[in-house]
Amino acid sequence: MAECSSKNDVKNPEAANVSGITTIEDRPIMQLFKRLINYTSMNLTLTNKQIIQILHKDFDIHTGTLHSITVDVYVNIIKKYLREWPEWDEFDQITNLQAEKSPEYVKKILERKYENIKLYLGEMLEIAKPLANEAVKEVQKVTKDSNKMNEVMMEVSCSRDQLNQLIHRNPQAENSTDIFNLTENIHNRIILHMWDLESILKLQVQININLPCISFVREMKHVLKHVLVNKMHTKHVYNKEALNTSLMVRSNSAKRNLNKAFINRLLTDLMMFYKDHPGYSLYKTIFELMRNELDMIPLPIVNSCSFSKILNQYAYVRYLYTDEWVSDDNKYDLQIEETLVPRIQISYNKYGFFEHKNMPTKDWLKLRCGYCEVLFTGQSIEDTIVEHYNIYHQNEPDWFCTNCKQRFNVKQLAENMWYHDC
């Protein structure tokens, strides 16, 4: 099979250094072989995403540069002929050889099988290529001949991380009508700071306390808006409208009024009571945060009420792309634009005189991640939440103020309660 000249075509199975991988050990088909000889009950049912990885890493076919019809054809070819490869029956013998022969001997057999299946599948892809090209030309001809302008609206329900990986940043317009990304992006940002507990609590964490003397819920209820924009051509004008930062108060009952001094004494009593408790550093941080945020609440405090406040006069904006790849194509730079209005909401559902009652942490304190909804509770809650944010939420892109265009990293904003001076 001759090597193709275009990077979008099916390449020679013997080509070296596919997608930067120097050995065949980490390529998807070889990994499939290894799983098959170790788990004899495994079937050959693969997801489209796994097949996309085979096309990318085993055949150097980058689906982001191809028309979606071509991708569909290649995926179906791999599905069909991977299952029908005639040498699968020999894998029972290879499994038995593992107990009799050295690992190096089995490795050489698998490498030989890998080259065989690469040649087999590569020939099938090469045969399918002209058929796929003809199908693409037909679709492009119909599209070109049509004068109808269709306005399409699509609603997507997914997590923000999924949204972040949904589209190709630089789709190849001449080859593809598909902007969707079927492969997984890998974060490549180097982290220069670590989150501490106080900053994490100010970031996007729900705090839920339910003690006999006080019931309290605090959360950062950020208002988010997402828009897909082409930054290459869109001259974007941000909405600089000043936001209403007045405190909004909602009372659920008119039972009795308590002042801040009462709640301050209650928090002091709680800190003294838990002073020798293993989780004291966490409790102290939370109670002091509650005390500091009392300053934004007016007098008197009505029993069973909630307070909501926008924390900055102007919204923030950022872009959620995960890669830094810049294409030579000057037509597209598709990015998810995320606009945020930072808001805090605090609810007091009950409060009364302090009771000396020692309750397990899991029974009265719960923290929930505002990004991925993970719930944290139990004795080791502090270590768990710090580890969670430093592992999973360190790659948060920086924010820009829509008014003054200043740039802020997430840690800066969290430490300053999402406020800055323009």
pLDDT tens readout for residues 77-94? 888 888 888 888 787 777
Strand order from edge to edge, sheet including 316-319: 223-230, 334-341, 316-319, 399-401, 407-408
Instruction: Identify the helix (H) or strand (E) that includes residue 132.
Output: helix 103-145
Rounded to whole angstroms, how far apart are CA atoms 322 and 207? 30
* Alpha helices (H) along 191-318: 197-204, 260-273, 280-293
Rounded to whole angstroms, how far apart are CA atoms 314 and 321? 23
The answer to whether 71 and 129 are in contact (CB under 8 A) is no
Q: Determine which of 39-48, 106-115, 214-223, 274-283 has the lowest per-residue pLDDT on average.
A: 39-48
Give the residue extent of every domain in the chain. Answer: 28-147, 197-415
The answer to whether 303 and 253 are in contact (CB under 8 A) is yes
Q: Determine which of 109-113, 183-187, 210-214, 358-362 has the lowest per-residue pLDDT on average.
A: 183-187
Task: For residue range 197-214, list pLDDT tens digits in order.
Answer: 888 888 889 999 999 888
Task: State the amino acid at position 333 in one-letter form.
Answer: D
pTM: 0.58
Count CB atoms within 10 A of the CB of residue 369. Answer: 19
Give the pLDDT score at 158: 61
What's CA 232's distance to the chain center, in Å?
24
Rounded to whole angstroms, how far apart are CA atoms 29 and 24? 9
- Output the six-digit token pair for 1: 């099979």
With cut-offs at 50, 70 and 90, classify the pLDDT of residue 155. low
